[in-house]
A = this chain, B = another copy of it.
């Protein structure tokens, strides 16, 4: 087992699964979450609950960049959740430009301060919303930028990168945490249980359906 890791925990299904994956690989874990003005800030309560269930340290960083840039439907309620991004027409309006870059930067700055080199993030490039910062080629480039920028060799772990939503559900089952999924939050609208219509809810439902299981958030 490796000594320590920082795990990015949004409070959703994927980051929760990644957290419990990491618990098997690292002796000590610090989970971190971001309060960035997201309209589904209810996910932070899920993150707290999940961190408690996992028995790990948890820190929430309050960041205010997106209040100042206001460039995404996830922060600005005047932008519809169901439109396209203004710049990249092939992306949905829920794309937050630079979000994972920012999150990984803060995670790495904090990790550096703690002397931790391992960072875990639950991105997947299989069943996803097309967000470019969820792809392996971005993660590799970011790992390099962070390592050069701080002269400190980081390793970014992405246990779900090649997993479909179905496979993520099956991994949660294997890790014995399927029941914890009832505490996770997915819906962009910030409704619990999810609205069932936004892209995040649709992807989640697809995973459970394909895995042949009921989503515990509805039980």
Contacts and interface: CB of A to CB of B under 8 A. Distances in A.
Contacts of A69: 106, 109-110, 113
Interface string A114-153: 0100000000000000001101011001101110111110
Given A63-B65, A102-B105, A112-B71, A142 B149 contact: yes
B97 A109 contact: yes
Given A97-B150, A150-B132, A87 B105 contact: no
A98 interface: yes
Nearest to A106: B65
- Total identical chains: 2
A88 B141 contact: no
A188 to B, nearest CB: 19
A133 to B, nearest CB: 4
Contacts of A101: 105, 108-109, 145-146, 149-150
Nearest to A108: B98
Interface residues of A, number: 41
Contacts of A106: 65, 69, 98, 102
A110 B108 CA distance: 21
A50 B97 CA distance: 29
Contacts of A98: 105-106, 108-109, 112, 146, 149-150
A138 B152 CA distance: 12
